[in-house]
Chain A
C-alpha cells in the first residue's frame, strides 16, 4: 500500500518503530498532491515548507528517543475557514482573498501542540455556504471517486484531500452537514461533534449557533485520535463546554451487543434513492448481526428542519458577514464616493451569488416586522426538533440514517435552483439544530460512488458513536477502498 493511503495510527506505529521518517511521510503526501491536485483541486493554499520543518523536528525527537504525540508528523489539512497565524485564510471568498490572520484558531493551536504537519488550507463553498464546493470563490473541487462529480460541501476540499491521499486527516466545519455530507460523498469518516465540544475560536463564523469543527479521517481509529486532539474547553469561546473529555481511544471496542439503535422512519420516506436505501438496509442488518437491537422510530418534526435551518443560519450569517466591509482587511472596491458607497461596492463585488442570497434572506427575516413570523418561529420549531431527539434518546442509544438521500451529484446538477441544492442537506441539518453529535462512516457504494451512514447520539456521546462505528468498520471493508486517480 502507498504511504499516502496509510492511516495516522498506522503511520505513527511505523514512526516509533523507526521504519519510516516523518519527512518520508510528508514527501510521499506532497508527491501525491503534486500528481493528483490538478484534477482534484482540494487545496487553496499549500504549506509544504512548514510541514517539512515540523516533520524534521518530529524526526529529531524520534532520533533523540523522545516520545511523540499520536499525531506528530502526520500530514493534516485544514479547511480554509479556520485561521492559522501567518497563513493566508480566505474562507474561499474573494472578499478576504488576501487575509493573513495574526492569530491561530484554538484547534490549529491544539494540533500544533500535537506537532502535526499542516499540509495546507482546503477549498470550501464560500464562507461554508453550500453543499458541493461549487460555490468556492476560486474554483471547484472534484470528487476523487469520479472527477465529474462534486465532493460535497462545504468542506469538500478537506474530504477530497483525505480521500485522494493528499492528506492523512483533515479538519472541517459543519453547520448543516458540511462535514458529514462530503465525508459520505468522498467515502471517508467525518464527525460533527456535539455543539460546544470543540472550540470555535478562529473558525470564520457562518452560523454561530450551529457551526462546529470536526475531523475527516480514513478510519474510526484516526477519528478518535483527532477528537482527542481537538476537543476540550476553551476560555476564548464562551459556548465551549467544560465537560471532561474522555480518551476516545478507549471507545474503540469491537462490541455493540445490546446497543439500542433507532431508525427514524422520516429519513426513509420521500426523496431517498432506491440504491442508497438498499445500501443503508444492508448496513442495518450488519448492525443487527453485530448484536444491536434495531427498531423503527419517529422524529415527528424532522420535516421542518430544512425551513428552520434556512431561516436561522442565514439570519446569523447576515450579521456574521457584516464585518467584511473593506475597512480593516480583505478586498476593497476602489473609487467609491463615500463610505456607504464603498461598503456597498466592496460587498457586492467581494461576495459570490450564494453568499449574497443568504445575506439577503437572513437580513429579510430579521428585519422589522418579520422577526416573529420567521426567526422567532424558527427558534421555537428548533425547540420541537430538539425535543424529538431528546425523546428518541430516552429509548435509544443511537439513531441511524443514511447521511445523504443520494450519492455525489454531477457538477452543475443543482446550481440552477437554490432550493434543490438546499434539499441535499435534508438528512444532516437536524443534528446541528439539536446540537448533538453526528458521525458519517462509509457503508457501501452506488455506481462506484461512496454512500455514507449517519450515526447520531446524545450530546457528548461521541464515544458511543465511535464504538458503534468502529464495530461496523471492523465488520466491513468499505474503508479499505480507495479511489483510482
Chain B
C-alpha cells in the first residue's frame, strides 16, 4: 500500500513538485495501477533469468577516436540561461 508520504518521497527523488491535490491523485492511482499488477507477484519465476535486452548482442564497442565537436554556438543555442560560454544555473545550496 502506497502512502502519501511514499508519494512525497518518490516526487523528491524524481524532482517533481506536486500540489496536495496531485499527491492525493497519484497516491490513489499508483495504488490502483500496482494493485492491478498484483497478478504478477503470484507467478512463479524461480530460476527464470531476467531479460533486460531482447537482443543477443554483446561487446559492441567503438574505437578510441576523436570526432568533431559541436561548435560552441550550437552547444549553447538551446540554453535557457548562459554566461561566459557556460550554462548558468541558480545557486547549488
List A residues at the B interface (Cβ < 8 Å): 98-100, 102, 195-196, 209, 235, 238-239, 241, 301, 303-304, 307-308, 310-311, 318, 322, 325-332, 336-345, 347-348, 351, 356-357, 359-361, 363-364, 367, 373-374, 376-384, 386, 418-419, 422, 433-435, 459
Contacts and interface: CB of A to CB of B under 8 A. Distances in A.
Contact of B15 (A301, A310, A344): A344
Interface in B69-90: 70, 74-75, 77-81, 87, 89-90
Q: Is the interface of B mostly helix, strand, loop or mixed?
A: loop
Interface of B: 2, 6-7, 9-11, 13-18, 22, 26, 29-30, 32-34, 36-37, 39-41, 43, 45, 48-55, 57, 60, 62, 70, 74-75, 77-81, 87, 89-93
Contact of A360 (B10, B48, B57, B60): B10
A338 B93 contact: yes
Contacts, number: 158
List the 3 closest pairs (A to B, CB-CB), nearest first: A435-B54, A379-B50, A329-B78
Contact of A419 (B10, B36, B45, B75): B36
B2 A380 contact: no
B13 to A, nearest CB: 5
A418 B37 CA distance: 13
19 contacts: A102-B75, A239-B57, A311-B40, A326-B80, A328-B78, A328-B79, A338-B92, A338-B93, A339-B89, A339-B90, A342-B89, A356-B16, A360-B14, A364-B2, A367-B10, A377-B41, A380-B49, A381-B48, A433-B54
Given A339-B92, A377-B45, A209 B52 contact: yes
A304 B26 contact: no
Given A364-B30, A384-B45, A102 B14 contact: no
A239 B90 contact: no
B87 A327 contact: yes
Q: Is the interface of A mostly helix, strand, loop or mixed?
A: helix
Contacts of B30: 360-361, 364
A84 B36 CA distance: 39
Contact of B14 (A239, A318, A418): A318
Given A102-B74, A360-B10, A196 B80 contact: no
A348 B17 contact: yes
A435 B55 contact: yes
